[in-house]
Structure 1
């Protein structure tokens, strides 16, 4: 979560610029504030297992982030946390299950599918790539590197799409040619997860 907070804070203005083109212009501010609050909340929970930390992070995002990203990522992290439960550690396969649960939660809550020009366009290919890499025997950090690259490719693929969900969908064809801010922050989150796992392995 500290890696995520640092990453979105560094890219806050860029995320805001992307969101100003096709949304409310507050995405960078919202996710930066949300993950700063998450880091603060987790500082008092140093002995809690990863699943409990994810659930707390999710609750914190819901309570501190406006717009769509708070409820979506909040639900995603809580769903992932429930997969881990009270287990003190996790392996590559469990990481796949965490991200798959997060994706399912986002798709259900946001009613979004690949091609709708949303965060799903970055997260679904990342989960698919991670699942394949882990099944092939890759170590978690290496598998996450491939997954993060898939998220970035999915993010870039939102540029020519017409938005079908969220505020951007109101623009119709005018949303074409703009990179989706939610997909962009999702790619940043996947890359931050890769760095965190690599540093701890």
Structure 2
């Protein structure tokens, strides 16, 4: 059981997230080629490489700062809609950790709720439209419903829900974003943004186990 993730462990966790996103650039590129123009993987790699650089060059003083730094790096370097919404996940979600010296099960669930609301507002999207929100929203619900004070278990529950969300996007018709132009041809393919969320949460889950 892991009840808290302190600042240093949080920074290590965010580094692991960045490493895993970068390692999956080909997977994300292939997924985006099926429904878009294939630039999602490259953009995400740029953003998370910038996040690593930021965390290394300016060590964050707080957990909130760490998430904000990652969000700013993603926004500035990823480009396009992905940069805006993935940056929003970390920047807006950081509010859940304001004044905190550790991530708890409760604050992690709040992080996902903040991220979900901010992404929906910024992107003007709802669940069921075949977007990253279809992974974020079920992850947020799972984390909130889990209960208990084991932060590693809460993150694991969120990660599992996000994975199921990715699978669910395969059968969805894209009604927004680049995939919208494909119409029914978008059915049968998972959403690249949702895959990215699952990679992020899976990395957090693995890092939390050793915190």
Q: Is the 8 A contact 1:62 1:71 kept in 2?
A: yes
Q: Is the 8 A contact 2:21 2:45 kept in 1?
A: yes
- Which piece of structure 1 moves more, 5-14 or 82-91? 82-91
Q: Which residue of 1 aligns with 2:203?
A: 192
Is 1:174 the counterpart of 2:185? The answer is yes
Q: Which residue of 1 aligns with 2:95?
A: 82
Is 1:12 the counterpart of 2:25? The answer is yes
Partner Cα distance (1:158, 1:5) in 2: 24
Is 1:70 the counterpart of 2:83? The answer is yes
Partner Cα distance (2:134, 2:96) in 1: 23
**2:58 is paired with a residue of what secondary structure?**
coil
Q: Is the 8 A contact 2:60 2:66 kept in 1?
A: no
Q: Which residue of 1 aligns with 2:154?
A: 143
Q: Which residue of 1 aligns with 2:134?
A: 121
Q: Compute the displacement of 1:82 (Å).
A: 2.4
Output the TM-score relative to the length of structure 2. Answer: 0.90
Q: Cα deviations across residues 148-196 of structure 1 (Å, max 9, x unaligned)?
A: 1110011011111110110001111111111111111111111111122
Is 1:104 the counterpart of 2:114? The answer is no
- Picking from 47, 61, 65, the partner of 1:34 is 47
Q: Is the 8 A contact 1:129 1:147 kept in 2?
A: yes
Question: Relative contact order (alpha carbons < 8 A, sep ≥ 6): 1 or 2 greater?
Answer: 2
Q: Which residue of 2 aligns with 1:159?
A: 170
Q: Is the 8 A contact 1:58 1:77 kept in 2?
A: yes
Q: Is the 8 A contact 2:96 2:108 kept in 1?
A: no
Is 1:24 the counterpart of 2:60? The answer is no
Q: Is the 8 A contact 1:45 1:53 kept in 2?
A: no
Partner Cα distance (1:132, 1:45) in 2: 36
Partner Cα distance (1:89, 1:119) in 2: 27
